[in-house]
Structure 1
Amino acid sequence: MPVGEPLAWPVVDRDGALLLDAGAVLVGEAERDFLFKHFAPHRGDVERLELTPEGAESANAASAAEAPTTTRDMHLNIGALTGLRPQMGASGAPMHPCRLIGFAPNEALFVTMPYADGRPVAITPGENVEIVAIASQAVYRFVCTVHALSHSPLDYLVLSKPANIRRLRERRSIRVRAQFPVRFGIGEEGSGYDGVALARGISALGLSVSAAWALGRVGERLRVSFQLRSGGNDTTIETTAIIRNVQTETGASTQATLGLELDRLTPAEQMAMKVYVFDRQDDVLYWTGSVR
């Protein structure tokens, strides 16, 4: 891939997603290095074997790995709304509302007894339960073992220290991890695209992307294009984005992470964004009653 001169052919990722059009120009080696670090560039004019679904899933799983969240990281407060369900046969079952009423020095939790149809949920000491808890800034999901059931001075459960903690979403806006190419063009006007960035997160109205360099200043606009694949449907989003924040990545002299707001989406594009996000946040569907 030559630097500083128009490409003679388009460049695609391992799954066929378009990264650069023929005629695009790489402005420097840093941009070329970014492409090979985050994608698997191939010439788009050459036929090749497709990546197997198993290989794609493995690649996505490896990229999603991150440091585990601790109980302290969740910042749970007394009275926090929680949902609980037995882990055995839990797939598709609803969460039952309860509240966090205390902590122990060993990080065990005390929660009120969950009820379903006016009756206590059948729970046995020693079994594992799944918990979804609404903290001050985010929603978390984790697993506990039921240590004991108590009926004085009220019905409550004693749960073990949370394990397998997973952050589900921000309270203000549902966000999910993402990894797909986002083509960008500098400025609001113009045709074609100048380069490609990597989507790191997505909400219904915005993106977090990594780029080989800071693509602009806060408040400036970019042209962006990317493809969303959800539920067997492919939707191409082509719109403009406002740069809301720019951060230099740790350990990288030029790479940057940008927060983009997509403020000119069509109704069809808005729906595609919401479907993509909610397809990856099915945990929210388990909430019942007044717990939301």
Structure 2
Amino acid sequence: MNDILAAASHAASDSLPGAALLTPADIPLGQPLAWPLVDHDGTLLLERGATLVGEVERDFLFRHFAPQRGDRATPEDSAAHEKPQEQEAAPGVRDLHLSIGALMGLRPQQGASGAPMHPCKLIGIAPNESIFATLPYVDGRPIEITPGENVEVVAIASQAVYRFVCTLHAMHQTPSGYLVLSKPANIRMLRERNSIRVRATFPVRFGIGAGGYQGVALARGISALGLSLMAPWALGKVGERLRIAFSLRSGNLDTPIETSAVIRNVQHEDVTQTQCTLGLELDRLTSAEQMAMKVYVFDRHDDVIYWSNSAR
């Protein structure tokens, strides 16, 4: 218990202005909360009226979060606590993880709407990020394109499919046909290619059966398909469903997600068989929620962990 109190005290410097730091003794067991419970950054942990059943859940809460009363922070306090967003540099071709031989499609940008993509392959990337690609052929003849013309390119990378625009610098037909394209601009990700997960740390409210959310767990990994979740106890058996709610923050977007999830695996973390890790597969996501999941994952692609067969 002392280490839990110390962790809560250590988080005081990062807490929301005006919010009241709590100790385990401030949260009665078996009684509905009279106020919402938030983390040090204002993230909702438990809603007003939620109930912590036992000491195991309460200890987990203070070990992994810095619980505070959510009714003591004003909107102005929260805005003042937010860190200014740093403007991210536009991604370059090397950020796309394209490999030599990657399949690409190319078409002139002028009148491109509805025109087919002509297949080609990546054969090189210059130090200035110019691209070398094989020359596309149509009916046995080189594609009709003029140096100085802009082209749209779709490239299949190891982790996603991207669309971008280049300017054709040069076209050579001998000894082997190839194109010299400018550094890509207006890079957009079209869709994910692999089911990958990245490390993540944020609170996830869970509910079992009917009613609201009874507790809070800690996300440890996320993919476009599901979550790896650390919980104070086994929340169910493999194949059973939970109700979960969390918020994904990526760039300037903050997307709340409420859905159900199927438990795909349960792994106990200690000999007491209490704290455990669950692999969850999410379902019933809206198109906006699906996009938020994908954006969150690919914003953190440098911290990738590939899913194993035992976890979603």
Alignment correspondent of 1:175: 197
Q: In the superposition, relative to structure 1, how do residues 243 and 10 fare at CA in structure 2: closer, same or farther (>3 Å)?
A: same
- Checking the alignment, whether the CA contact within 8 Å between 1:228 and 1:234 is kept in structure 2 is yes
Please name the residue that 1:32 is paired with.
58
Runs of 5+ unmatched residues, structure 1: 55-90, 100-112, 119-133, 139-170, 285-292
Contact 1:96–1:114, Cα closer than 8 Å, also in 2:
no
Letter in 1 for 2:286: T
Output aligned runs, 1:140-219, within 5 Å: 173-187=195-209, 190-219=210-239
* Superposition CA RMSD, Å: 3.6
8 A Cα contact 1:244 1:259, kept in partner:
yes
The higher relative CO (CA closer than 8 Å, separation ≥ 6) is in: 1
Q: Distance in 2 between matches of 1:220 and 1:274?
A: 25
What is the percent sequence identity of the aligned residues? 66
How many residues are paired up?
191
CA apart distance, 1:282? 6.5
The normalised TM-score by structure 2 is 0.53
TM-score normalised by length of structure 1:
0.57
Distance in 1 (alpha carbons) for counterparts of 2:303 and 2:63: 32
Q: 1:267 deviation in Å?
A: 1.3
Partner SS for 2:266: strand
The one-letter code matched in structure 2 to 1:185 is G
Instruction: Give per-residue Cα distances to partners, 1:125-173, cap 9 Å, x unaligned.
Output: xxxxxxxxx8xxx9xxxxxxxxxxxxxxxxxxxxxxxxxxxxxxxx951
Q: Is the Cα–Cα contact under 8 Å of residues 30 and 53 in structure 2 kept in the other structure?
A: yes
* 1:10 is aligned to 2:32: no
Aligned CA distance change for structure 1 residues 27 and 232 (closer, same or farther; 3 Å): same
Q: Distance in 2 between matches of 1:35 and 1:28?
A: 11
C-alpha separation in 1, matches of 2:256 and 2:98: 38
Greater Cα radius of gyration, structure 1 or 2: 2
Contact between 2:199 and 2:303, CA under 8 Å: does it hold in 1? Answer: no
1:53: how far off? 3.9
> How far did 1:202 drift?
0.5
- Conserved 8 A contact 1:184-1:193: yes
Counterpart AA for 1:3: L
Q: CA deviation at 1:253?
A: 3.8
Q: Tell me, in whole angstroms, the C-alpha distance in 1 between the residues paired with 2:62 and 2:98.
A: 46
For 2:49 and 2:229, the matched residues in 1 are separated by 23
The DSSP-based 3-state class of the residue aligned with 2:59 is helix
Per-residue deviation, 1:98:
5.8
Deviation at residue 234 of structure 1 after TM alignment:
0.9
Shift of 1:211: 0.5
